Amino acid sequence: MTAKRTRGNGEGSIFPYRNGFAAYVWVTKPDGKRQRKYVYGKTRDEVHDKWIKLHQQARQGPVATRIPTLGDYLTYWLSEVVKPNLAPLTAATYETLVRLYIVPELGAKRLDRLDLRSVQTWINKVGRTCQCCAQGKDARRRSDTRRCCAIGKCCNSTPSPRTVKDLRTVLRSALSQAKTEELISRNVAALVKLPASRRRKGKAWTSEEARCFLESARSDRDPLYAAYVLPKGRGAWAGMGRGGPGRGGADGRLAVAASRSAAAAPRDEDREFRCHASASGHLRHVAASAPSRGG
């Protein structure tokens, strides 16, 4: 051993800093890169103790030199924890959920400053945000094929309750790893409550669209025609048959809500059978010869 070596790796690097001392240890970061990590203290002894601890920590595994943002941490987590351990399809799903939903809203937050309230607010908001709007899906279409959110007719594509649940699962799993790595002390995603799943809102019809639908229903002699036109208060429309419950808005627009929970209620897809949008953009009633409804 040389004289220099007996001093111990790095011990010689304790140096006066501001009103005290500082020292550093070369550590391997979670992303695999090597970097100096500094410790500080009032006295040389204090810094020496911290330096010994850090040195031991560095020998045991990766050390974070500073607390990363959630976005940076998720990048590391996907490539070093998820991909090597999970099925490719699962890893791809996690990557998509992280990129489209988590990073845009929470990615810039420092991992240890991610609080329960921000995560709860985020997950509530995700559940009611049109993802066509948020992700610019319609805006990416060729200008002559844009058909909803980019031309002021929001298609209201909110994520399914299942997706919202998956989002919490992914975040909880990533934060659990961060906790194991001692970057955070508690997993806020595990404490988050999922928003109660509500019925999906259908798209609102203009009164012109509703008129087309009713005329079409009448000419097709739909047995539920009477139910469609049953008046229910001023400007309201109660189409309570299998055509789905209708609600009249104050602005004269009609909303046909399609329930996904009630077994007997039609789904959005069913409405397609009844109200077929023709090439000209007009709604046409399609006689109730819809294919069998699963269940």
Closer by beta carbon to Zn ion, 201 or else 284: 201
Q: 6, exposed or middle or buried, with CB in 10 Å at 0-12, 13-18, 19+?
A: exposed
Nearer to Zn ion, 106 or 132 (CB): 132
CB of 131 vs Zn ion, minimal distance in Å: 8
Considering the rule CB under 5 A, would residue 102 count as an interface residue with Zn ion?
Answer: no
N-term to C-term CA, the chain: 80
Shortest reach from residue 157's CB to Zn ion, in Å: 6
Name the strand (E) or helix (H) holding 36.
strand 34-41
Helix (H) or strand (E) holding 40: strand 34-41
| Footprint of Zn ion on 235-264 (CB under 5 A) | none
Which residue lies nearer to Zn ion by CB, 91 or 130?
Answer: 130
CB of 152 to Zn ion, least distance (A): 10
Could you tell me which residues come within 8 angstroms of residue 36 by beta carbon, excluding any fewer than 6 positions away? Answer: 24, 25, 26, 27, 65
CB of 149 to Zn ion, least distance (A): 3
d(CA 92, CA 89): 5
Look at strands 254-256 and 283-285 and give their pairing.
Answer: unpaired
**Nearer CB in complex with Zn ion: 147/198:** 147
Query: How far apart are CB 159 and Zn ion at their closest, in Å?
Result: 12
Q: Give the closest residue to 124 by CA, choosing from 202, 200, 171, 193.
A: 193
What DSSP designation does 16 have? Answer: E
Q: What are phi and psi of 234, to 5 degrees?
A: -65, 120
Window 172-211: contact mask with Zn ion (x via CB under 5 A): ----------------------------------------
Judged by beta carbon, residue 44 or residue 137, the one nearer Zn ion is: 137
Q: Toward Zn ion, which CB reaches closer, 134 or 275?
A: 134
Number of residues forming the site for Zn ion (CB under 5 A): 8
The least CB distance from residue 198 to Zn ion, in Å, is 17
Count of Cβ atoms closer than 10 Å to residue 26 Cβ: 14
Helix (H) or strand (E) holding 274: helix 268-274
Closest distance of CB 135 from Zn ion, Å: 10
Q: From residue 110 to residue 149, what is the string marking binding to Zn ion with x (rule CB under 5 A)? A: --------------------x-xx----x---------xx
Q: Which residues bind Zn ion (CB under 5 A)?
A: 130, 132-133, 138, 148-149, 154-155
